[in-house]
Amino acid sequence: VAKAQYCIGCGVKLQTTDPQGLGFVPENVLEKSIAAGNNELYCQRCFRLRHYNEMLPVSLTNDDFLQILTKVGQQQALVVNVVDIFDFNGSVLASLPRFVGDNPIILVGNKADLLPKSLKRTKIKEWLRQRAYEIGLHPVAVVLISAAKNLGIDDLLTQINNYRQKRDVCVVGVTNVGKSTLINRLVARSGGNDDLLTVSRFPGTTLDIIKLPLDDGGNLWDTPGIVQTKQLTNRLSPKELKYVQPASELKPKTYQLNSNQTLFLGGLARFDYLSSESKSVVVYLSNRLLIHRTKTANADSFFERHLGGLLQPPFEQNTAEFAHPKRHIFKAEQKSDIVLAGLGWITVSANTTVAIWTAAGVGVSIRKAMI
C-alpha cells in the first residue's frame, strides 16, 4: 500500500495482511482499484454487510478489546456474553465482572447441538451458572442455544426483552464462539432488510462496530471478539480443523484403563493414566479425531515414529509445533474433566492421577465434571 487508504464505510485503515483483522481487503482488490484510479473502497466487512447483509467475524488486539469492555461498563446496557459450551474455559471472559459494573449480564452457552442429547439441559445451565459464579460473574439468566442449528433463539430474545428495560444491548465474546452466526440469526429474525445494519462508532471509542436497531428505539451492538491464544485450534490449518472441531452431537467414548496406559488424541495431545487402580475414563472429542491406546512405556518412541502419520492431525507439514509437548500432572479429588482448550475434555473419576501432554502454551485445566 503506497499511501494509507481508509474504508469509506467504517473509516478504518485498510490492510491486506490479516483477513481476521479490522480493515481487511484482499490484495488483488486493492491493486485493481489503485490501477483504476479509484480511491473509494470498502473493507471486506463493510462490503459483505452492504451487499449481503452478512456479519463477518473480526478480531481485535488485547488493548482494543479491553477498551471496548471498559466502555461497555460505562454504558447503561444489557450485556450478552456468548461462550462456547464445548470450550467453556477457553471462551469465558474472566475479566468481564470487573468491566461490566452494575450492568446485568445474560450468559449464552452456544453450540448446544454438540452435547449428547441424553444430557438434561437444566443440568448444563446449572453447571454453567456455577462456573460463572466461580469467576465472580453473576448472570441474571443463562440461556442455551445453537446459533448454527437455530435452536433457543426465541428463548434468548425473550430473556433479552425481559431484562433490557429500554437499555441498549451489547453482545460480547471471544472469537470462534459463534457470535457472528448468532448476530446473523438475529438479523434474519428482524426481517433482514437492507437498512437494518449500520456501522457506527461505538460510544466513546475509536472503534467502528455493527449496530442493529431494536424495535423500541434502543440498539444492539456487536463488538468484535478477541483471539484466545491458549486455544489449540488457533495453531491448526483449516484442513486440520475439520478433524478437530466437532460438527455434530458428540459420541462419548469410554476406555477402561490400567495403570501406565496411554491414549494419544491424534498427535495433538497425549493422556497417561497413572493411578494404580483400573478405572474408566470418558473422552469427549470430535468424532473424527482418532484415538490410539499404547503402553506408557512405549509412548515416547511411538510418538516419535508416528507423529504426522498414524497420529494426525497435525499433518506432516505442521508437526513442528507439536513435536515437543509439555507435560501437566493432575490429581482429581472429585469426578473431574481434564480440559484441552479448543479440543474437548476427558472425564476421570474421583481419586485419579493423570498426565496430559500437549504443545507448550495450549491451555490445559481441570474442572468439576460437566456430565
In the complex, the smallest distance separating the C-beta of residue 298 from ligand GDP, rounded to whole angstroms, is: 36
State the Cα–Cα distance between residues 93 and 101, nearest whole angstrom: 14
In the sheet with 141-144, reading across from the earlier edge strand, the strands are 141-144, 105-110, 77-84, 168-172, 219-222, 208-213, 198-201
Interface residue with ligand GDP, options 45, 71, 111, 125 (CB under 6 A): 111
- Binding pattern to ligand GDP, positions 56-95, x when CB under 6 A? -x--------------------------------------
**Of 113-132, which residues contact ligand GDP (CB under 6 A)?**
113-114
Please report where in the chains the cell 454438540 appears, as a residue. 114
Q: Among all residues, whose Cβ is closest to ligand GDP?
A: 178
Q: Does 228 bind ligand GDP (CB under 6 A)?
A: no
Question: What is the crossing angle of helices 179-189 and 153-164, to 10°?
Answer: 80
Whichever of 110 and 159 has its CB closer to ligand GDP, that residue is 110
Contact region with ligand GDP (CB under 6 A), list: 31-39, 159-167, 176-184, 251-259: 176-184
Q: In terms of Cα–Cα distance, which of 266, 259, 220, 216 is closest to 241?
A: 266
Contact region with ligand GDP (CB under 6 A), list: 67-75, 156-164, 177-185, 283-291: 177-185
State the Cα–Cα distance between residues 277 and 293, nearest whole angstrom: 18
Q: What share of the chain is helix, strand, coil (3-state, %, to 5)?
A: 30, 30, 40
Contact region with ligand GDP (CB under 6 A), list: 23-31, 107-115, 185-193, 290-298: 107-115
State the Cα–Cα distance between residues 70 and 305, nearest whole angstrom: 50
In the complex, the smallest distance separating the C-beta of residue 309 from ligand GDP, rounded to whole angstroms, is: 27
Interface residue with ligand GDP, options 23, 90, 139, 225 (CB under 6 A): 225
Radius of gyration of the chain, Cα coordinates, nearest whole angstrom: 22
Whichever of 140 and 151 has its CB closer to ligand GDP, that residue is 151
- Binding pattern to ligand GDP, positions 178-217, x when CB under 6 A? xxxx------------------------------------
Whichever of 113 and 240 has its CB closer to ligand GDP, that residue is 113
> The C-alpha cell of 147 is what?
446459533
Output DSSP code: residue 322: G
Q: Does 175 bind ligand GDP (CB under 6 A)?
A: yes
Contact region with ligand GDP (CB under 6 A), list: 32-40, 111-119, 275-283, 285-293: 111-119
Q: Does 286 bind ligand GDP (CB under 6 A)?
A: no
> The C-alpha cell of 269 is what?
495431545
In the complex, the smallest distance separating the C-beta of residue 38 from ligand GDP, rounded to whole angstroms, is: 30
In the complex, the smallest distance separating the C-beta of residue 145 from ligand GDP, rounded to whole angstroms, is: 7
Paired strand residues for 105: 79
Dihedral (C-alpha) 110, 113, 114, 115: value to the nearest 10 degrees? 90
**Of 131-160, which residues contact ligand GDP (CB under 6 A)?**
146-149
What's at 83, amino acid-wise? V
Paired strand residues for 269: 265, 358
State the Cα–Cα distance between residues 300 and 38, nearest whole angstrom: 59
Q: In terms of Cα–Cα distance, which of 56, 173, 152 is closest to 105?
A: 173
State the Cα–Cα distance between residues 172 and 78, nearest whole angstrom: 11
Whichever of 171 and 268 has its CB closer to ligand GDP, that residue is 171
Chain contacts with ligand GDP (rule: CB under 6 A): 57, 110-111, 113-114, 146-149, 173, 175-181, 225
